[in-house]
Amino acid sequence: MGVRWVVSLLAQAVAVIFLVATSSFFLLQVIPGDPASVVAGLDADSATVERVRQSMGLDRPLHQRYFEWISGVSRGELGVSHVQRRPVEDLIRDRLPVTIRLAGFALLLSLLLGLGMAVIASAHSAGTTLTRLLEYGAFAFPQFWVALILLYFFSFRLGWLPMFGVEERGSMILPAVALALPNAAVVSRTARASLRELLQGNHALAARALGIPKSRVFLIHLLPLAMIPVLPVLAIQAGYLLAGAIVVEQVFGLPGLGRLTLSAIVQRDLPLIQGIIVVFGLAFPLLNASADFLVGLLWPRLRHGQSS
Amino acid sequence: MRSLISVLLIILLSLLGGIPDIVEAGGRGEVRESVRDRLVFGLSGDPNTLDPHATTGTLTFQTMRSVYDTLVEPDPDGRIVPALAESWSINAEGTRWTFHLREDVQFHHGRALTAEDVRASILRLQDPGFASPSAHEYALIQEVRVLDDHTVELILSGPHAPLLATLASGWSAILPADLIREGHDFDSEPLGTGPFRFERWVRDSEIRLSRNENYWQPGRPLLREVQFRIITEQAVMAQALMTGRIDVADIVVEPELSLLRQSPAVRIYESPSALVMVLAINTRREPLDRLEVRRGINAAIDKQAVMDTAYAGGEVVGTFMDVANPYYLDFTDLHPHDPEMARSVAAELTGGRELVITLPQNFEPHVRAGELYHEMLRNAGFRVRTQLVDWSTWLSDVYREGRFDLTVIGHTGKLDPHGRLAQFGTDQTYVGWEDPPTVEAIEAARVTLDPEKRFEHYAIALRRMAEQLPFVFVGSPVRYVGLNAELRGFYMDSRLDTADLRNVRFEAP
């Protein structure tokens, strides 16, 4: 992990932020829906709507607003929310802990579930069929629906887990499961393919030739190697978890970034939407970099561009 | 081997983050008090702000009704009665309104209410820099005079009867002058004179209030604590109410309504809503600018069927006023349901022009109603197409810019009929229907203080609208609130769409 790596990572992050910030700013200008009308409400006359528009600064020319905003972004200031009238970075900071907790828990669950499924599939031919079915299921059922079904059984029927909010004990379990299922399928598929390859490779043959028991070869020598392609996939998936959080946080009433995103879009709170897009945009290069970092840390031989 | 250990270590470490959740999941996390004086109120969305001067959003008033008071307030019969003002008088010209304030009112930070607070609140509402969306309702107030500590006078540039109702509405909340001056953050830290004090707001999660021990109504409120719980999913709201996790579901619609009716733990609170559900017609456009075509469309609609199927029941109306309103007049016989007549209009007068019904996609009942209108119009031989748009697009494209043929919406009522009718008949509304007699009648009612004379003026306007059909006036639905069956004293003002929690208590088990 040299200086060059860090520098290129930073350059990449800056470029991504700039591109994402600029394109989101201009794209949001062309979508229909007027933020001032939303805030002013049904009863306001046109003079009131105009006053509200001015108080939002939307009456000023586009290029002026763009340069103000983009220079703000370079200083780490994302503007002020039209609707909540607070700095966007504060709003996002308030919501991040819930979403990070949810996504982190879901990521972990998807890793454990996915690896478990892959191991079962590789260990037995009947396991392959079962795993495939589970994978299809996890992909095919919409998260929204899965979340409601989980809620119905475990909260409403059985009363084991809370229905909403984050204060009560165990409140993250159902949301994390709902969020983790599609990811678990992705992990399982990737790990399964890589395990199959490894089982037929020289590693396995050599280990068997040395008389190491099969299960030991599998769990200690092959599984860690199978993780190598899984980690980058997981990093990409972590980004998608943030998107899935929009649905899951809505169903379970979690005050996270997903809820904030949805209400910002519904209310056309442009500075807030832009700010969230920048933060999400930043998440992808960061997650990719941390996956690279982890792979390098765990498998030092891969660090200098050597492949196994 | 070393790599395996680090993998395990990392997995273990990240697991620890999740473990507290798993370990603690054993309990149901629910504590039942023996004496229930804590209310959990399920709210269907998060307010944008808690500043009642800064919004027109119902969710703000639904919660802030309990934190703030107004000079006057509506009683259940629709009369305006004293609140912070124990009495008031209006001069004969209707230009000088004098309010005498109660002397026993304290703000939650301990300072006594004075006339200066009323003045500061109204000036804040009028301040162009503050840009309150309600500012236009106070536009005629030229001056707010403080006569003494407990007397305040509003000087109007002309008579304006709807002002009293405005002063009784949630957006006329009285805020403390000292905090207004200091630039206090009323958006997130409301402070008023109301029955409950604000404790905390976790956005998109909950709002907590606690009893104001010094409230000016003796012995009120009865509850010690109110927690507004934000639950946006209707299905979750219903399940939470049935399992006792919440005590109030602020609004209930089908299909959850039927489910809740069967639950012994739940009582459904019904009140006539102040809404008028309409199929709005863009009268600027061909061929909708012709009355005969609008009558044909109106005749194609089976209004009762729409009310029952899409809006969970309600009463059919024939004009732009809700059934429970004292100003309501029945014009339902004027244009009966007549598919035959609709068919001949569709065949002869539309010239085969396709009509687009634009629906606000986030309101399920309107979408359902839209599908019914589509079906009914198609059966009558009209060429129709349905188009869904999201709420903010609807607001700007349809409502502000009038780019639509037909659209479906519910118009809310206000305490005063002027709130609903203002601007109708001018070219300022989205239906584009211009009618000088209507404008004249509405204006005459606005400047008339005598309620009986106002009724006569509004009768003219309502008849014109019933005859001219700028809308298909469909009906007023019933407003359903889901309540814990043990809850007593709950009252929801349907015109303001806000709950009064001062008398709410739980029946002793």
Q: DSSP labels for B137-179?
A: GGTTEEEEEEEETTEEEEEESS--TTHHHHHTSGGGPPPPHHH
Query: For residue A13, with 0-12 CB atoms within 10 Å meaning exposed, 13-18 middle and 19 or more buried, which class applies?
Result: middle
Mean pLDDT of A220-244: 79
What are the φ/ψ torsions at residue B486 (nearest 5 degrees)? -90, 0
For residue B23, what pLDDT is reported?
A: 37
Interface of B with A in 299-358 (CB under 8 A): none
Mean pLDDT of A78-104: 89
Q: Spell out which residues of chain B touch residue A294, defining contact as CB-CB under 8 Å.
A: 10
Mean pLDDT of B330-346: 92
Q: Are B6 and A298 inside 8 Å of each other by CB?
A: yes
Q: Are B231 and A164 inside 8 Å of each other by CB?
A: yes
Q: Are B236 and A164 inside 8 Å of each other by CB?
A: yes
**Interface residue of B134, B236, B429 to substitute, partner A, most A CBs within 10 Å:** B236
Exposure string of B437-447, with b = 16+ CB inside 10 Å and e = fewer, is: ebbebbebbbe
The overall average pLDDT reported for chain B is 90
For residue A183, what pLDDT is reported?
A: 86
Q: Spell out which residues of chain B touch residue A107, defining contact as CB-CB under 8 Å.
A: 14
Mean pLDDT of B479-498: 91
Question: CA nearest B206 in A: which residue?
Answer: A165
Question: CA nearest A48 in B: which residue?
Answer: B133
Confidence of residue B24 (pLDDT cuts 50, 70, 90): very low
Asked whether residue A126 carries a pLDDT value surpassing 80, the answer given is: no
User: What are the tens digits of pLDDT across the range B39-70?
Assistant: 999 999 899 899 999 988 889 999 999 999 99
Non-local (6+) Cβ contacts of A119 within 8 A are A195, A218, A223
Domain range A93-307, CATH architecture: Orthogonal Bundle (1.10)
Smallest Cα distance from A72 to chain B, Å: 24
What are the φ/ψ torsions at residue B200 (nearest 5 degrees)? -160, 160
Mean pLDDT of A120-143: 81
The domain segmentation of chain A, as residue ranges, is 17-74, 93-307
Confidence of residue A236 (pLDDT cuts 50, 70, 90): confident
Asked whether residue B16 carries a pLDDT value surpassing 60, the answer given is: no
The domain segmentation of chain B, as residue ranges, is 2-47+194-272+479-506, 72-181, 276-476
Smallest Cα distance from A290 to chain B, Å: 13
Smallest Cα distance from A300 to chain B, Å: 9
Closest partner CB to B21 (pick from A55, A156, A173): A173
Q: Is residue B501 within 8 Å of residue B223, measured between CB atoms?
A: yes
Asked whether residue B199 carries a pLDDT value surpassing 90, the answer given is: yes
Question: What fold, for B276-476?
Answer: Dipeptide-binding Protein; domain 3 (3.10.105)
Q: Could you give the C-alpha distances from A260 to A32, A81, A83, A91, A96, in angstroms and in order?
A: 20, 11, 12, 8, 10
Closest partner CB to B232 (pick from A161, A253, A299): A253
Count of CB atoms within 10 A of residue B92's CB?
8
Confidence of residue B509 (pLDDT cuts 50, 70, 90): low
Q: Are A108 and B236 inside 8 Å of each other by CB?
A: no
User: What are the tens digits of pLDDT across the range B341-377?
Assistant: 999 998 888 888 899 999 998 788 999 999 999 999 9
Q: Are B395 and A38 inside 8 Å of each other by CB?
A: yes
For residue B33, what pLDDT is reported?
A: 47
The overall average pLDDT reported for chain A is 83
Q: Is B390 on the interface with A (CB under 8 A)?
A: yes
Q: Spell out which residues of chain B touch residue A40, defining contact as CB-CB under 8 Å.
A: 56, 133
Closest partner CB to B243 (pick from A51, A156, A172): A156
Confidence of residue A1 (pLDDT cuts 50, 70, 90): low
Count of CB atoms within 10 A of residue B353's CB?
14
Q: Of the segments A94-108, A251-265, B105-119, B246-260, which one has the largest average pLDDT value?
A: B105-119
User: What are the tens digits of pLDDT across the range B215-239?
Assistant: 999 999 999 999 999 998 888 999 9
User: Which of the two residues, B51 and A203, has the higher pLDDT score?
Assistant: B51
Mean pLDDT of A254-283: 88
- Range with the lowest mean pLDDT among A70-84, A209-223, B214-228, B479-493? A209-223
Mean pLDDT of B471-488: 94
Q: What is the Cα–Cα distance from B135 to A272, expressed in whole angstroms?
A: 26
Q: Is residue B469 within 8 Å of residue B298, measured between CB atoms?
A: yes
User: What are the tens digits of pLDDT across the range B394-453?
Assistant: 988 999 889 999 999 999 888 899 989 988 999 889 999 999 999 999 999 999 999 899
ipTM over the 0.90 cut-off: no
In percent, the amount of chain A with pLDDT more than 90 equals 7
User: What are the tens digits of pLDDT across the range B169-193?
Assistant: 999 999 999 999 999 999 999 999 9
For residue B431, what pLDDT is reported?
A: 95
Smallest Cα distance from B430 to chain A, Å: 11
Q: Spell out which residues of chain A touch residue B389, defining contact as CB-CB under 8 Å.
A: 32
For residue B444, what pLDDT is reported?
A: 96
Q: Are B22 and A173 inside 8 Å of each other by CB?
A: yes
Q: Of the segments A294-303, B26-35, B276-285, which one has the largest average pLDDT value?
A: B276-285
Class of domain B2-47+194-272+479-506: alpha beta
CATH of B72-181, one of 3.40.980.10, 3.90.76.10, 1.10.10.10, 3.40.605.10: 3.90.76.10
Mean pLDDT of B264-290: 93
Question: CA nearest A49 in B: which residue?
Answer: B133
Smallest Cα distance from A15 to chain B, Å: 31
Asked whether residue A200 carries a pLDDT value surpassing 90, the answer given is: no
Mean pLDDT of B62-80: 93
Q: Are A161 and B399 inside 8 Å of each other by CB?
A: no
Q: What is the Cα–Cα distance from A216 to A196, expressed in whole angstroms?
A: 16
**Which amino acid does the sequence have at A96?**
L
Q: Is B91 on the interface with A (CB under 8 A)?
A: no
For residue B377, what pLDDT is reported?
A: 95
Sign of CA dihedral A121, A124, A128, A129: negative
